[in-house]
Chain A
């Protein structure tokens, strides 16, 4: 296990939970199902899996603890919705940071290369 020193901020903890939640193909499939259609009940989601109702419930709880799934009661049913915000925050923190400077560097090369070409025309 990697440790990050004395204490993690709430945001660090949330992102840790998001990465853990995403590191499972059944949970990623649940997110895809909720992205395709929000507001599904456990019974509806369960039909898409070979595993037990309890297994699906456990995966939903992990997603919910990570903030990736939000639930709402409607009568006796609990409806599940995908919350895309934590993925956006992971994207802002972990994807943008590593992709943008490289894109900028490559983009910066274009005028340099174009200007340096003596044989143009």
Chain B
């Protein structure tokens, strides 16, 4: 099992149920007015061609191709971790967002981060707490209308 660390994270799957409509969920994923509230403060803008992410001071955190753009169902884009100089040189990986409506006004969101074979540091960086923080924040934002605050009782 010497390859455990490598295998660990070349394909990561995250799934969450959110009480919202597919349209609203799509908007929350693709427009900066929403993403600044749950995605580490990133201003993320998604067009049919391009996925761009900017930090609070306008620095580039991500600038990648969009491979599939099918609102409000499916979004596939490239991922390079430009927010961290140690990770920025690693090759592009891929992120897929899949939205499926469920009974009772719910949506099942599946995020798959794969093609991480050549990007072990990015794989480690986004795994576990990385994506779960973003997705639990997204759920809180859409279900309560306010971002999750650390000290909020």
A residues at B contact (CB < 8 Å): 10-11, 14, 35-39, 67, 70, 72, 81-85, 88-89, 92, 100-101, 104
Contacts and interface: CB of A to CB of B under 8 A. Distances in A.
B90 interface: no
Question: Per DSSP, are chain B's interface residues mostly helix, strand or loop, or mixed?
Answer: mixed
A36 B110 contact: no
Contact of B136 (A35, A39, A85, A100): A85
Interface residues of B, number: 28
A7 to B, nearest CB: 12
Contacts of A104: 151
A67 B153 CA distance: 26
A88 B15 CA distance: 11
Question: Per DSSP, are chain A's interface residues mostly helix, strand or loop, or mixed?
Answer: helix
Contacts of A35: 8
B33 interface: no
Interface in B1-29: 1, 4, 7-17, 19
